[in-house]
């Protein structure tokens, strides 16, 4: 139960959410790029970013990677994670037909920290600013767990920049999770954090103090989590795909409620635990991802015409 509780914290909404080098907080400023870099963890599929860099975003050096060509799709990882731990398996499939811009959020992965707690409002502003810095006026968004909540906040606060929205395993109210979730959050210990997350972070930064800082930031954000209102969800104008696992951190009933509230939404419930539908690193069996059909589901949603 202890490990499961932290999986909820880390993979989905508190922690949820490897290429390259450099230390968070000491990154080069704005658009330092490595082209066609094939550096990767041995657990990741072989896919190379065509561009990597940092952009000055609201006083933060924010890291991003770009894959593929076509219509822009922004990926926002879960708490405690990185681009590669959340999206490493699905990236090669998503980038076949579109330009994928994957970001790392405040205090996570390559991105530095600021003297302020994490918030979904700040994360939303950071992502929107980075996308504008890259010369993109409008994009599709795919957010997982905490990243899904950030994507939801972007759709609420910055509707003009959102084309279509994919919310993966992101709840909007405290009541949307199983019994015991919040007790687990309030008693979260660093020792409960999945080792795969710790290992990937240390490969990037090799700084245990920064790793524990990230843990603390994510835990505090979840401990102080505040609901979005029903009116917030009904204000979302972008066509939206809500997708969860049938054994996810949020309940299927909560996902159905979100589907009824968001006007132009679809709902998919996929067999699996939190993060498994994306191939999150903590869900792999024998190092393999078995649900590649989800990428095709995303592609169909993103290419469909909605009136």
Instruction: Please report, for the domain that includes residue 157, its CATH number.
Output: 3.40.50.1820
| pLDDT confidence of residue 35 | 31
Structurally, how many domains does the chain consist of?
A: 1
Which of 11-15, 43-47, 155-159, 205-209 has the weakest average pLDDT? 11-15
pLDDT score at 43 = 35
pLDDT tens figures, 50-64 = 999 999 999 999 999
Mean pLDDT to the nearest integer, 88-108: 97
Interstrand relation of 60-67 and 51-57 (parallel, antiparallel or unpaired): antiparallel
- pLDDT at position 212, please? 97
What is the pLDDT, as a whole number, of residue 305? 87
Confidence of residue 31 (pLDDT cuts 50, 70, 90): very low
Question: Which tens digits make up the pLDDT trace of 241-259?
Answer: 999 999 999 999 999 999 9
Query: Which letter does DSSP use for residue 13 in this model?
Result: I
User: Cα–chain-centroid distance for residue 170?
Assistant: 10
What is the length of the chain?
A: 307
Q: What is the dihedral of CA 277, 278, 280, 285, to 10 degrees?
A: 50
Element containing residue 222 per DSSP (H, E): helix 208-223
Domain that holds residue 292: 2-303
C-alpha span between 207 and 24 (Å, rounded): 9
Q: Is 96 exposed, middle or buried (0-12, 13-18, 19+ CB in 10 A)?
A: middle
17: CB partners within 8 A, 6+ apart:
76, 77, 78, 79, 80, 81, 82, 85, 86, 105, 108, 144, 145, 146, 147
- pLDDT band for position 179 (50/70/90)? confident
């Amino acid at each position: 139960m202890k490990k499961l509780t932290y999986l909820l914290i880390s993979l989905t909404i508190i922690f949820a959410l490897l290429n390259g080098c450099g230390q968070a907080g000491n990154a080069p400023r704005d658009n330092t790029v490595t082209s066609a870099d094939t550096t990767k963890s041995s657990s990741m599929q072989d896919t190379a970013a065509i561009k990597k860099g940092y952009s000055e975003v609201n006083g933060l050096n924010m890291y991003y990677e770009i894959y593929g060509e076509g219509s822009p799709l922004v990926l926002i990882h879960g708490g405690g994670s990185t681009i590669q731990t959340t999206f490493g398996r699905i990236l090669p499939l998503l980038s076949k037909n579109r330009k994928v811009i994957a970001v790392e959020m405040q205090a996570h992965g390559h991105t530095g920290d600021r003297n302020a707690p994490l918030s979904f409002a700040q994360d939303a502003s950071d992502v929107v600013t980075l996308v504008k810095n890259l010369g993109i006026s409008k994009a599709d968004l795919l957010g997982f767990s905490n990243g899904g909540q950030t994507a939801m906040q972007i759709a609420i606060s910055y509707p003009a920049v959102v084309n279509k929205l994919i919310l993966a395993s992101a709840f909007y109210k405290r009541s949307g999770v199983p019994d015991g979730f919040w007790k687990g959050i309030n008693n979260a210990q660093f020792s409960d954090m999945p080792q795969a997350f710790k290992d990937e972070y240390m490969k990037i930064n090799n700084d245990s103090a920064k790793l524990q800082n990230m843990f603390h930031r994510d835990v505090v954000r979840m401990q102080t989590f505040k609901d979005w209102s029903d009116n917030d969800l009904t204000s979302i104008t972008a066509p939206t795909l809500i997708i969860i696992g049938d054994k996810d951190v949020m309940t299927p009933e909560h996902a159905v409620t979100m589907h009824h509230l968001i006007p132009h939404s679809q709902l998919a419930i996929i067999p699996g635990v939190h993060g498994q539908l994306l191939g999150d690193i903590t869900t792999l069996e024998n190092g393999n991802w078995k649900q590649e059909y989800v990428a095709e589901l995303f592609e169909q949603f993103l290419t469909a015409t909605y009136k």
